[in-house]
Structures are given as structure tokens and as C-alpha cells.
């Protein structure tokens, strides 16, 4: 696994599951942010996430708990809690314990559904969300295809994997880009936009590739906080990818890619789009090999051709609870 990864888990919105994978009445145990949770969908369809261990005698609500209406019933003695973590029913008690009258007994993670995914907000001090999840319009547009999804569990820190988008030189040496791409990065609060231009073989209007000519191809990556990104591949053909990064611990994360493409495209463009998706997925494998064995250097020597690595790290610091002053990162170059 990556070495030197004593960076903390950042706060933010993180993907926990695709919406379609959690039907009403379903319960699922999760382990994210170094904590155990019970994720469930109520009968009316609301996704909720509670810290896992029952306030009674500590059973894991996600391991055998059952949804009853808008509540989850513990598998051990049948106590029922609502999605806010309030104990609503103790089936065999004559008088409800006083503590249950005094508000939530378990922490309820803020949860939202956007872009066909369920998202949970993590903050080490349980501070309420400080920014929003952005909508990717193509993900709710009926003219765009169902999601094609990929998932990896990676032994690295979420700050390290995110750095890939601004690390220009690795595109040549790891991903065999023909020339060094040009990148422009814009930072705006929790948002980060990278516009990358690289030279690619020319694609004609009918989708034929002319290897003798080149053209600029544009890739726009947008990030909202540490856990979500979208990439628009916009050439003669189009595809939009949502990338999500979810910390399991501070040195393990789940990376997911979900692609959508316009439904009505010619066979030729369909082949090209599928090729692009396959290539994007294949290239992650190359990055994983590097991440797995590398050291995290908080004092890298950088050169002028490196791309905005230092700028990226400064931007990322805002998601560490201690704030910019105490973040454990020094920068050189």
C-alpha cells in the first residue's frame, strides 16, 4: 500500500451506493470513514444512514436489521429507531427509558440522492454540510444512456488519487499521451475545474479517424469537494463520466466511474465512445500500480512543467478539519 499516508480523512459528501442498488425496505451494512454504519431505505423511499451500533446493547443494525415503515428494527431485541436516530419503539417496555425521550440516541449522517447515487456527508466532528452536491444534468436526462459503472478498492489516500488530474507529466509517462497536455486549473471555494487540451488523431464528422492529422481534444474535469468529480469528453462524440472517491479509512478508498452517453448516436460514434470508456478504465489500472507502491511526499521537489500540483494541494487543505494553518503539508517548488 501507499507509504507515508498519515493524512487525515477529509470532510465532504461521499458516494455510498448507486440509488438503484438500495430498494425500499432494504438494509445494508457499510464501513466508511473508519466507522460502521447501517444504510437503509424506508418504505416511503427515503435513504438514511445511521451509525451502526444499537444504543440498547450494541447490535449492528445493518446486519439483520429490518425496515418497518420509516424505521429500522434492531435484529437483537426489536427496538425501533427512525432515520434521525431517535428510538421510537421498545416493543416490550412498559415505560420508554428516559434517554429515548431526550432526542437522537444514534448519529444520523446527512444523506442526499443526486446523480443516481446516494451520498453521505462525513465530518470528523459531525459538523453539518458546508457545501452542496452539484447536479450533472446528463445524469437525469432521458436522452442519455443508463450508467455504465466501474469500481475499484484502492490502497491510497483520497488526496493522492485526486492529484492525478493535475499531474500533467504522468499522462505522457503512465498513460502514453503523445504530447504533454496543457492544463488550466480554476479554484473556486469547494470547486476545482481543470481544462486540459491535448493533441489527438483527427476524427471526421462521420466518426472516421485520420491518423495522419491531429486536432486539439478537450477534457474538462470538475471537482466538488474531495469526493466527487465529473469529466466531459467533448469531441465529435460525447460522453460524461462521474468519478466518485469514498474514503474507507485514511489509506483505503473506493473509486467509482459511471459513464453516460447520448442514446441516439450512430454505430460508428458508439464504437468510438465505447473505445474511449474502455481506455479510460484501462488507464486507471496503470495509476493504481503507481499509487500502491509510492510514498506520499509532503515536500516534493517540483519543476515548471509539472502542472499545478502545489495549487491542488493547497486547495485540498480546506477539507481537513484543522484548517489551513495546521494541515500537515509543506510545499516546495
Q: Which residues make up the interface to ligand FES (CB under 6 A)?
A: 54, 56-59, 74, 76-77, 79
Pick 99 or 330: Cβ nearer ligand FES: 99
Contact predicate 174/289, CB 8 Å:
no
| Residue 198 makes contact with Fe ion by CB under 5 A | no
Q: Tell whether residue 156 is a contact of Fe ion (CB under 5 A).
A: no
From Fe ion, ligand FES, none, interface partner of 164 (C-beta below 5 to 8 A by class): Fe ion
Quote the cell numbers at residue 193. 475545474
Options 108, 156, 159, 164; binder of Fe ion; rule CB under 5 A:
164
In the region spanning residues 284 to 313, those forming contacts with Fe ion, defined by CB under 5 A, are: 287
Taking the C-alpha atoms of residue 9 and residue 248, their distance in angstroms, rounded to an integer, is 9
- Counting contacts by CB under 5 A, is residue 163 touching Fe ion? no
Q: Are 60 and 72 in contact (CB under 8 A)?
A: no
Which C-beta is closer to ligand FES: that of 50 or that of 245? 50
Only segment of 69-77, 118-126, 197-205, 280-288 that touches Fe ion (CB under 5 A): 280-288
Instruction: Give the residue with the Cβ less far from ligand FES, 56 or 311.
Output: 56
Nearest to 291 by CA among 159, 178, 188: 159
Report, in angstroms and rounded to the nearest whole number, the Rg of the chain calculated over CA atoms: 22
Binding site partner of 287, from Fe ion, ligand FES, none, Cβ cut-off 5-8 A by kind: Fe ion
Where b means 16+ CB within 10 Å and e means fewer, 240-277 reads bbbbbbbbbebbbbbbbbbbbbbeebeebbeebbeebb
Nearer to ligand FES, 75 or 207 (CB): 75
Strands 209-224 and 228-234: antiparallel
Residue 293's Cβ-side half-sphere holds a number of Cα atoms within 13 Å equal to 4
Q: Between residues 57 and 193, which has the closer beta carbon with respect to Fe ion?
A: 193
Q: How far is the CB of 59 from ligand FES (least distance, A)?
A: 4
Q: Rounded to an integer, what distance in angstroms lies between the CA atom of residue 51 and that of residue 56?
A: 13
Which lies closer to ligand FES via its Cβ, residue 76 or residue 152?
76
Does residue 160 touch Fe ion according to CB under 5 A?
Answer: no
Residues that bind Fe ion (CB under 5 A): 164, 287
Amino acid at each position: 500500500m501507499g507509504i507515508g499516508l498519515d493524512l487525515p480523512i477529509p470532510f465532504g459528501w461521499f458516494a455510498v451506493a448507486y440509488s438503484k442498488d438500495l430498494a425500499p425496505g432494504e438494509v445494508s451494512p457499510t464501513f466508511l470513514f473508519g466507522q460502521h454504519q447501517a444504510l437503509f431505505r424506508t418504505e416511503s423511499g427515503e435513504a438514511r444512514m445511521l451509525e451502526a451500533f444499537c444504543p440498547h446493547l450494541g447490535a449492528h443494525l445493518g446486519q439483520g436489521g429490518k425496515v418497518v415503515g420509516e424505521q429500522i428494527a434492531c435484529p437483537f431485541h426489536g427496538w425501533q429507531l427512525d432515520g434521525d436516530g431517535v428510538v421510537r419503539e421498545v416493543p416490550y417496555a412498559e415505560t420508554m427509558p428516559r434517554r429515548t425521550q431526550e432526542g437522537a440516541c444514534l448519529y444520523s449522517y446527512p444523506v442526499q440522492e443526486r446523480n443516481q447515487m446516494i451520498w453521505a456527508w462525513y465530518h470528523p466532528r459531525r459538523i453539518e454540510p458546508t457545501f452542496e452536491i452539484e447536479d450533472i444534468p446528463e445524469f437525469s436526462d432521458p436522452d442519455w444512456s443508463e450508467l455504465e459503472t466501474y469500481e475499484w478498492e484502492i490502497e491510497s489516500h483520497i488526496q493522492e488519487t485526486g492529484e492525478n488530474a493535475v499531474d500533467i507529466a504522468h499522462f505522457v509517462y503512465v498513460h502514453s499521451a503523445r504530447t504533454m497536455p496543457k492544463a488550466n486549473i480554476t479554484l473556486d471555494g469547494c470547486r476545482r475545474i481543470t481544462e486540459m487540451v491535448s493533441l489527438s488523431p483527427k476524427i471526421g464528422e462521420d466518426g472516421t479517424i485520420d491518423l495522419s492529422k491531429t486536432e486539439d481534444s478537450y477534457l474538462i474535469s470538475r471537482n466538488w469537494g474531495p469526493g466527487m468529480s465529473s469529466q466531459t469528453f467533448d469531441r465529435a462524440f460525447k460522453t460524461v463520466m462521474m468519478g466518485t472517491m469514498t474514503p474507507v479509512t485514511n489509506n483505503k478508498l473506493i473509486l467509482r466511474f459511471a459513464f453516460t452517453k447520448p442514446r441516439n448516436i450512430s454505430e460508428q460514434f458508439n464504437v468510438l465512445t465505447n473505445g474511449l470508456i474502455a481506455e479510460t478504465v484501462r488507464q486507471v489500472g496503470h495509476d493504481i500500480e503507481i499509487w500502491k507502491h509510492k510514498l506520499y511526499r509532503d515536500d516534493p521537489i517540483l519543476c515548471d512543467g509539472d502542472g499545478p500540483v502545489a495549487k491542488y494541494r493547497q486547495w485540498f487543505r480546506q477539507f481537513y478539519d484543522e484548517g489551513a494553518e495546521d494541515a500537515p503539508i509543506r510545499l516546495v517548488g
